[in-house]
Amino acid sequence: MTSQEIKNRANQLERSVRLVMHGVPEEWVDRATEDQLEILWEIYVRDQKDKFEITSNANANGIGIAFGGKK
């Protein structure tokens, strides 16, 4: 396979693989319609955003405490 063919195939599989990596049963992903996959993907994206916000807030709070801010 060429480098471009590998990238194209990875692009095709990325959503399904990421969903399985994040705990969606492979059987669900294999049997899901395109609409159902889009819904699962949206839930995954929202979860990633929530995790980022929580981590950012925790880091900001920790930095504030480290430099004498309120606990």
Q: For residues 14 and 18, give the distance between their C-alpha atoms in angstroms, rounded to a whole number.
A: 6
Q: For 1, which DSSP code?
A: -
What's at 57, amino acid-wise? N
Determine, yes or no, domain membership for 12.
Answer: yes
How many domains is the chain partitioned into structurally?
1
Question: Residue 44: inside a domain, yes or no?
Answer: yes
Contacts of residue 44, defined as CB under 8 A and 6 or more positions apart, other chains included, come to 18, 19, 22, 24
Q: Is 13 inside a domain boundary?
A: yes
Q: Is 42 contained in some domain?
A: yes
Find where tokens 């430099």 sit: 67
| Nearest to 40, CA basis, from 17, 58, 59 | 17
Q: What is the mean pLDDT of each run of 10 residues along the chain (71 residues)?
A: 95 93 94 95 90 68 68 57
65 SS3 class: helix
Q: 44 is in which domain, residue-wise? A: 3-66
In a domain, 71, yes or no: no
pLDDT for the residue numbered 67? 73
